[in-house]
Amino acid sequence: MRWIQDPKTLELVPATDFTRDVDAPFVWNDIQPYRSMVDGSIIGSRSTHREHLRAHNCIEVGNETKYLKPKEVKPPPGLKETLIRVANEKLRSR
């Protein structure tokens, strides 16, 4: 069973019994107009902002997560062969 904390009473309520006071979609306000640091033009909407970023090959700071994924670390070349050789030498010396 899933439980949800009621924000008003702070009590745990079964998810099937929980209802919100407002059953309306949340709509973000449009962005306030700003002057572009790239070319000085005025950007007045989200769509213009996205088009501007695309046109100037820019990204928003905080939205570049795909570039922040950890890179795959590859072992140095020849490591596997070196480990096999050292292990075989130690086994032979017994």
- Which residue's entry shows tokens 């570049």? 64
Instruction: Encode pLDDT of 1-54 as tens digits.
Output: 889 888 888 889 898 888 777 667 778 788 899 999 999 999 999 999 999 999
Q: Is residue 93 part of a domain?
A: no
- 48 falls within a domain: yes
**Contact residues for 35 (Cβ-Cβ < 8 A; gap 6+):** 41, 42, 43
Name the residue range of residue 43's domain: 30-61
Residues 6+ apart with CB under 8 A from 64: none
Q: Is 20 inside any structural domain? A: no
**Predicted structure pTM score:** 0.41
Total domains in the chain come to 1
According to the model, what pLDDT value does residue 37 have? Answer: 92
Inside any domain, residue 52:
yes
In a domain, residue 45? The reply is yes
Contact 60, 50 (CB under 8 A): no
Of the pLDDT bands very low, low, confident and very high (cuts 50, 70, 90), residue 93 is confident
Q: Residue 24: what pLDDT?
A: 72
